[in-house]
């Protein structure tokens, strides 16, 4: 069968999606590939179809047991023989799979990365009785320390490949598009002259919105009431918030279920199925929910808290509208979200195994990402544009389908405010973070301000009449545009830059887009 016939016969689709045919063709010609495609774009078919056309076995390296099980059972359902090898198998099952594989039963075998270098598996792979024609690496960004979820076991993949008597085709797939991660994948997996295929990250059917409501819960309920009968996900940062939001919504009569790592396996599976089969309309979950979930009719994803970075945000938000129908991604920002995320960065257990130098690099990276996420919540520019630029693509500056493009903004001269903020940073000898600067110019009478003797600063109280959110927007604007910088450590101290002087001394003007007073999201209930 040709790839087109396989697509139709096994998967029931008539045409390939963007990028799929190119990747498949290259693999069939024996060339390594790297497919960078957003979640839901259809990466799996890109290795499954050639696997059925090549002789020998395709090993698919995948990080999650649950993901493997789903993929294998999906394949089995459409009549493709596939198996998986991971720690959930008993010894007897494991040897049975290897026996059947030796007998040529499976064109596709999913393997956990930590299994590759085990003695039994190496004996199998190197025996000469089997031909491994392709190694497909799913979630390939796991090889990169710069990636979202670095997995040391992924570093073993290349050792494994290098031991094989004949080098297989190596195909790698990820939804993480930053150049750094892309380069890491190519280097670390030692891809040979790979065909790199990046398909557009833009999802035009998704509306993006950010709000900073005083009362998040009320705003969310208001939103849900306007979306009765639609399927949606509410992401919260912690299990505790999931529990609170979920039980309150149940009390108010919404059809809700929940998902987080603190629930038993069986309850998680049960709740997930309730959501997938529309027995529960709304899923309230931590970021533990979603990887490998394929539900096409999710009409909205509300982030009840700001996630830790743009990668997470776009991946989670991107679970809306996989069927291509208009869907909404709403982020409800609150200052506490930054504090919580900062805490996670400072107490990340995964980092404890790292040597101190690497740990510091990883933490700096995470703080920088958190900052970019926070900027997303404060920018008045097109949100889609911000996202696409973050992932290294160019947007159009105006998408017409995000809360910023649809708000009325006016261009406001903020030179005076900027001069005072920068002046305050200078006169405190660049020793404090954003909050202290803002509290100082607002003339806050707090113990902290008195302790730092910022009440004696020449700019103390000079901007008492400007609302705090506006000062924060100006601060962010100054940082985004290089008029101020911030240290990349846990203190995030505001520093002057080469450009600061232009405003302080040379009469440079600063203008920025701002929502008209009445339209600031904080003052409007409900989105879109």
Residues forming the site for Zn ion (CB under 5 A): 382, 384, 399, 402, 405
Segment near ligand ADP (CB under 6 A); pick from 13-21, 403-411, 422-430, 491-499: 13-21
Q: Report the nearest approach of Zn ion to the CB of residue 113 (Å).
A: 39
Decide: helix, strand or coil at residue 433.
strand
Give the number of other CB atoms < 10 A from CB of residue 14.
Answer: 8
Q: Report the nearest approach of ligand ADP to the CB of residue 74 (Å).
A: 8
User: Counting contacts by CB under 6 A, is residue 124 touching ligand ADP?
Assistant: no
Q: Rg of the Cα trace of the chain?
A: 26
Q: Report the nearest approach of ligand ADP to the CB of residue 247 (Å).
A: 31
- With contact defined as beta carbons under 8 Å apart, do 272 and 307 qualify? no
Decide: helix, strand or coil at residue 220.
helix
> Which of 10, 16, 223, 391: binder of ligand ADP (CB under 6 A)?
16
- With contact defined as beta carbons under 8 Å apart, do 284 and 242 qualify? yes
User: Counting contacts by CB under 6 A, is residue 40 touching ligand ADP?
Assistant: yes
Q: Which does 39 bind (CB under 5 to 8 A by kind): ligand ADP, Zn ion, none?
A: ligand ADP
Q: Report the nearest approach of ligand ADP to the CB of residue 13 (Å).
A: 4
Look at phi and psi of residue 503 and say left if phi exceeds 0, alpha if psi is from -120 to 50, else beta: alpha
**Full DSSP string of 332-371:** E--HHHHHHHHHHHHT-GGGGGS-HHHHHHHHHHHHHHHH
> Which of 1, 2, 9, 13: binder of ligand ADP (CB under 6 A)?
13
**Full DSSP string of 440-492:** HHHT---HHHHHTTGGGSTTTTTTTTS-HHHHHHHHHHHHHTTSEEE-SSTT-
Q: Kindly determine how many residues on this chain lie close enough to bind ligand ADP according to the rule CB under 6 A.
A: 13
* CA 313/CA 333 separation, integer angstroms: 12
Segment near ligand ADP (CB under 6 A); pick from 16-24, 53-61, 203-211, 402-410: 16-24
Q: Report the nearest approach of ligand ADP to the CB of residue 221 (Å).
A: 31
Q: Which strands make up the sheet holding 231-235, listed edge to edge? A: 206-211, 327-332, 298-303, 231-235, 282-285, 256-259
Segment near ligand ADP (CB under 6 A); pick from 39-47, 189-197, 254-262, 383-391: 39-47
Q: Which sign, positive or negative, has the C-alpha torsion 352, 358, 361, 365?
A: negative
> Which of 41, 60, 142, 185: binder of ligand ADP (CB under 6 A)?
41
Q: Which does 402 bind (CB under 5 to 8 A by kind): Zn ion, ligand ADP, none?
A: Zn ion
Contacting ligand ADP within 208-247 (CB under 6 A) = none
User: Counting contacts by CB under 6 A, is residue 304 touching ligand ADP?
Assistant: no
User: Counting contacts by CB under 6 A, is residue 318 touching ligand ADP?
Assistant: no
Contacting ligand ADP within 261-300 (CB under 6 A) = 294
If DSSP states are collapsed to H, E and C, what string results for 103-172?
Answer: CCCCCEEEECHHHCCCHHHHHHHHCCCCCEEEEEECCHHHHCCCCCCCCHHHHHHHHHHHHCCCCCEEEE
Q: Which does 44 bind (CB under 5 to 8 A by kind): ligand ADP, Zn ion, none?
A: ligand ADP
> Which of 3, 32, 33, 43: binder of ligand ADP (CB under 6 A)?
43
Q: Report the nearest approach of ligand ADP to the CB of residue 43 (Å).
A: 3
User: Counting contacts by CB under 6 A, is residue 17 touching ligand ADP?
Assistant: yes
> Which of 45, 108, 172, 503: binder of ligand ADP (CB under 6 A)?
45
* CA 230/CA 328 separation, integer angstroms: 11
By C-beta, is 41 or 301 nearer to ligand ADP? 41
Give the number of other CB atoms < 10 A from CB of residue 460.
Answer: 21
Interface positions with ligand ADP (CB under 6 A): 13, 16-17, 20, 37, 39-45, 294
């Amino acid at each position: 069968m040709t790839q087109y016939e396989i697509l139709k016969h096994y998967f029931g689709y008539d045409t390939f999606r963007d990028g799929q045919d190119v990747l498949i063709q290259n693999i069939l010609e024996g060339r390594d590939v790297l497919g960078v495609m957003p979640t839901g774009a259809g990466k799996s078919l890109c290795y499954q179809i050639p696997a059925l056309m090549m002789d020998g076995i395709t090993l698919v390296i995948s990080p999650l047991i649950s993901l493997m099980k789903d993929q294998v059972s999906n394949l089995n359902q459409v009549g493709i023989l596939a198996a998986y090898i991971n720690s959930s198998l008993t010894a007897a099952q494991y040897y049975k799979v290897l026996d059947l594989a030796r007998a040529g039963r499976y064109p596709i075998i999913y393997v956990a990365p930590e299994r590759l270098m085990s003695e039994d598996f190496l004996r199998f792979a190197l025996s000469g009785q089997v031909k491994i024609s392709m190694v497909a690496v799913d979630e390939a960004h796991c090889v990169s320390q710069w990636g979202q979820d670095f997995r040391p076991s992924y570093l073993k993949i290349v050792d494994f490949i290098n031991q094989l008597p004949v080098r297989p085709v190596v195909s790698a797939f990820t939804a993480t598009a930053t150049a750094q991660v892309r380069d890491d994948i190519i280097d670390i997996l030692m891809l040979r002259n790979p065909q790199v295929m990046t398909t557009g990250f833009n999802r035009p059917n998704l509306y993006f919105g950010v709000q900073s409501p005083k009362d998040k819960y009320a705003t969310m309920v208001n939103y849900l009431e306007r979306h009765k009968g639609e399927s949606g996900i509410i992401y919260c940062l912690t299990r505790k918030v999931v529990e609170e939001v979920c039980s309150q919504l149940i009390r108010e009569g919404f059809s809700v279920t929940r998902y987080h790592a603190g629930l038993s396996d069986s309850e998680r599976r049960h709740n997930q199925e309730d959501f997938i089969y529309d027995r529960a309309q709304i899923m309230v979950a931590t970021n533990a929910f979603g990887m490998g979930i394929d539900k096409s009719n999710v009409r909205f994803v509300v982030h009840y808290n700001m996630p830790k970075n743009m990668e997470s945000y776009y991946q989670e938000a991107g679970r809306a509208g996989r069927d291509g129908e208009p869907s909404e991604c709403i982020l409800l920002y609150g200052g506490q979200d930054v504090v919580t995320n900062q805490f996670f960065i400072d107490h990340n257990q995964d980092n404890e195994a790292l040597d101190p130098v690497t740990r510091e690099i990883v933490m700096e990276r995470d703080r920088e990402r958190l900052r970019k996420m926070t900027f997303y919540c404060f920018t008045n520019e097109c949100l889609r544009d911000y996202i696409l630029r973050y992932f290294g693509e160019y947007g159009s500056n105006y998408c017409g389908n995000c809360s910023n493009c649809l708000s009325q903004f006016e261009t406001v001269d903020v030179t005076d405010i900027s001069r005072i903020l920068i002046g305050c940073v200078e006169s405190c000898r660049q020793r404090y973070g954003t909050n202290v600067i803002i509290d100082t110019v607002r003339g806050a009478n707090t113990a902290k301000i008195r302790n730092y003797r910022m009440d004696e600063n020449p700019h103390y109280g000079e901007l008492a009449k400007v609302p705090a959110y506006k000062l924060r927007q100006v601060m962010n604007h100054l940082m985004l545009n290089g008029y101020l910088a911030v240290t990349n450590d846990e203190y995030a101290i505001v520093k002057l830059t080469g450009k600061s002087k232009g405003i302080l001394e040379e009469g440079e003007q600063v203008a920025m887009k701002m929502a008209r007073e009445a339209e600031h999201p904080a003052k409007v209930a409900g989105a879109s």
